[in-house]
Structure 1
């Protein structure tokens, strides 16, 4: 096998999902609408010694608040927050399904738009075959496979972090936009109310002044 063929084998192995411990990211995010008087629960399977981080934000809805709780596979309540607009919670996990719920039963009218993100760390990797058996004559290569793997994993970690930050920034932007639109509608409403009150008061004042002058004229006659 020539040097060109060995490099082709190396490139194809690095592109295989899960090859050399290069596993796809397990992080995920989701945006949903929670109706008034409803509760929604989600489940995430975890393994012993891993880490589960849940971050949520209420993007839209009256009050921008929701009840949140996180339950362990044994049924223990690990986190419970009432009427919060956002939160970040990290727990060390054990084997089993973790349940986290968003509760809007306290609201009878307003629905809520909720964004949440799951960040899973130390989930482990399945045992991989020894990749060195696919390489023949590695002493002829000018680069180390370990260095290539380290560089790929470093780029992957930075890209995942960038994607996470961009997702959070979009969530913050959506929430701020909804707050601004709500404030804009509120300012317009009260401005119209004030304008109506001013018109009514002006009309009453004109009528009273007119009546006052008419009474004086009648008294003189």
Structure 2
């Protein structure tokens, strides 16, 4: 599941999220800054015992996969304290694999028979389909993140182009009016100076 949140500017504290992960599973974290000046944040992934597994400073996106060696809550922290003015909009997704679903299949397939082999084949096929669907969903979510960031940049640039175009048009109109006025004054003075 993907999440979008805002990291405040010039705050000493970081925004942290917690994900419970079982030992010997797989934890994949993917994040992307989709709005804000510089499009960069700091990212840290900390184990339940307090060890830093991943630490990045001022990056716009990243994908990290870790294999947890202990059960517990893993902490995902995003830091924007280096930015004094700009808030950042961050999208992130956490994928946890190798959790409780595998034990249920193992309990069902205890007997050594043809049914066990069939059950194992079905299980492998379902796991393969599930992994492919998860990867497809993850890729689509990543594309949505890129689209959101591109849309933000496009809207921001459109505002700047419109603003400066309006300023340029105003300056051109002012210069044109000044030139017309100056020329009229010049010819009005000439008409008044010639007397029959």
**TM-score over 0.5 (shorter chain):** yes
Q: Once the 2 structures are TM-superposed, how far is the Cα of residue 194 of structure 1 from its aligned partner?
A: 0.9
Report if the CA contact (8 A) 1:31-1:115 is conserved.
yes
Residue in 1 aligned with 2:42?
67
Residue in 2 aligned with 1:17?
none
Matched, 1:195 2:169: yes
Report if the CA contact (8 A) 1:66-1:104 is conserved.
yes
Report if the CA contact (8 A) 1:36-1:111 is conserved.
yes
1:174-193 to 2 correspondence within 5 Å?
Answer: 174-193=148-167
Q: Once the 2 structures are TM-superposed, how far is the Cα of residue 40 of structure 1 from its aligned partner?
A: 0.6
Matched, 1:111 2:87: yes
Match of 1:213 among 182, 187, 193: 187
Residue in 2 aligned with 1:4?
none
Residues 194 and 116 of structure 1: is their aligned pair in 2 closer, same or farther, counting only changes over 3 Å? same
Residue in 2 aligned with 1:42?
17
- What do the CA deviations read for 1:110-142 (whole angstroms, capped 9, x no partner)? 432211012334558548435345x9xx66x7x
CA distance in 1, matches of 2:185, 2:97: 81
- Number of residues of Structure 1 aligned to a counterpart in Structure 2: 188
SS of the counterpart of 1:42?
A: strand
Residue in 2 aligned with 1:25?
none
Residues 193 and 111 of structure 1: is their aligned pair in 2 closer, same or farther, counting only changes over 3 Å? same
Q: Once the 2 structures are TM-superposed, how far is the Cα of residue 216 of structure 1 from its aligned partner?
A: 4.5
Residue in 1 aligned with 2:63?
88
Q: Gaps (5+ residues) in structure 2?
A: none
Q: Once the 2 structures are TM-superposed, how far is the Cα of residue 205 of structure 1 from its aligned partner?
A: 1.6
Q: Once the 2 structures are TM-superposed, how far is the Cα of residue 92 of structure 1 from its aligned partner?
A: 4.1
Residues 203 and 77 of structure 1: is their aligned pair in 2 closer, same or farther, counting only changes over 3 Å? farther
Matched, 1:129 2:107: yes
The more displaced of 151-160 and 44-53 is 44-53
Residue in 2 aligned with 1:14?
none
Residues 146 and 40 of structure 1: is their aligned pair in 2 closer, same or farther, counting only changes over 3 Å? same
Calculate the TM-score normalised by the size of structure 2. 0.76
SS of the counterpart of 1:69?
A: strand
